Amino acid sequence: MPEHILITEKLSKSFPSGGSELAILHGIDLKVVQGSTCAIVGPSGSGKTTLLGLCAGLDSPTSGEVILAGRKLGGLSEDERAQVRNESVGFVFQNFQLIPTLTALENVLVPLELRGEKTSNAADLAHDLLVDVGLGERVTHFPSQLSGGEQQRVALARAFIGEPAILFADEPTGNLDGESSAMVEEMLFELNKAKETTLVIVTHDRELADKAGMVLVMRDGRIVETTSA
Ligand SMILES: Nc1ncnc2c1ncn2[C@@H]1O[C@H](COP(=O)(O)OP(=O)(O)OP(=O)(O)O)[C@@H](O)[C@H]1O
Ligand SMILES: [Mg+2]
């Protein structure tokens, strides 16, 4: 039996909307094998970001359960969920969410700081990761001084630094040109190979999706198709 690092059971999410409830996700059942790669595709508004946020423990479902790295998130307090995230999860947000008052290098260091693991060589590690994503000349820049694609690559370095067991990436190549996009793809799959990091990637890029071991197609808050390579 393969070990599943992520399981969702009948996961649903609604948002209040003008006095009633607007259902966004409808009973999503999902199993992701540890060390595998999974791409989620589907039209804008189909619920991809919402699903990713629930799976990563950033948000709570209206009903259903997420089991992440062997922990049932539903039974955990906010602090306990944060701890699971710090220990096991990397997240690249669709809108980056870098901290504006920190430099690129300081942003990359945040996950280690949260874990209390900011050792003496942490800055070197962060620097190396920024070099890897092609930003060796931008380490002291603040997010406002970086282009969208550069911010995206800082966000990627930040997600990598803690060597998470599972990495969620929401359109990680969405703001990149062909060359940077190919580099980011290569880094993601290299991370998967080298560290067995499970990847869950939301993307509109069919080429990127086709590299994943499993592709889920979402439509109107449901998974309508699952393809395994
Ligand atoms: N906090 C919220 N309150 C109300 N509605 C929301 C909220 N967050 C998301 N939605 C709605 O849920 C639906 C799904 O949004 P989501 O961001 O998950 O889509 P998506 O598939 O990631 O789209 P995109 O490809 O454009 O990023 C959208 O119709 C959106 O308007
Ligand atoms: Mg989205």
CA 218 to ligand 1: nearest atom: 21
Give the whole-angstrom CA distance, residue 12 versus residue 179.
Answer: 38
Alpha-carbon gap, residue 87 to 14, rounded angstroms: 28
pLDDT tens-digit map of 32-41: 999 999 999 9
Q: Return the best residue to mutate from 11, 48, 94, 223 for the ligand 1 pocket (most ligand atoms within 8 A of CB).
A: 48
Domain that holds residue 129: 4-228
Whether 203 lines ligand 1, by a CB cut-off of 6 Å, is no
The CA-CA-CA angle for residues 155, 144, 175, to 5°, reads 50
Distance CA 175, CA 193 (A): 25
Report the pLDDT averaged over residues 168-190: 89
Give the chain's domain count: 1
Structure tokens at 111: 């996950």
CATH of the domain at 222: 3.40.50.300
Pocket of ligand 1 contains residue 73 by CB under 6 Å? no
DSSP label at 84? H
Q: Is 24 in the pocket of ligand 1 (CB under 6 A)?
A: yes
Q: State whether residue 21 is helix, strand or coil.
A: strand
pLDDT tens for 81-119 read 999 999 999 999 888 899 999 999 999 999 999 888 878
Question: How deeply is 100 buried, as exposed, middle or buried, from its count of CB atoms within 10 A (0-12, 13-18, 19+)?
Answer: exposed
Contacts of 157 (CB under 8 A, 6+ apart): 108, 126, 129, 130, 132, 133, 135
- Please state the pTM of the whole predicted model: 0.93
The predicted-structure confidence for 9-56, as pLDDT tens digits, reads as follows 999 999 998 889 999 999 999 999 999 999 999 999 999 999 999 999
**15 ligand 1 Cβ < 6 A:** yes
Q: Can you say how many angstroms the Cα of residue 136 is from the centroid of all Cα atoms in its chain?
A: 23
Question: For ligand 1, atom 12, which residue shows the shortest CA distance?
Answer: 24
Which atom of ligand 1 is closest in space to residue 51's alpha carbon?
A: 18
Q: Report pLDDT for 90.
A: 94
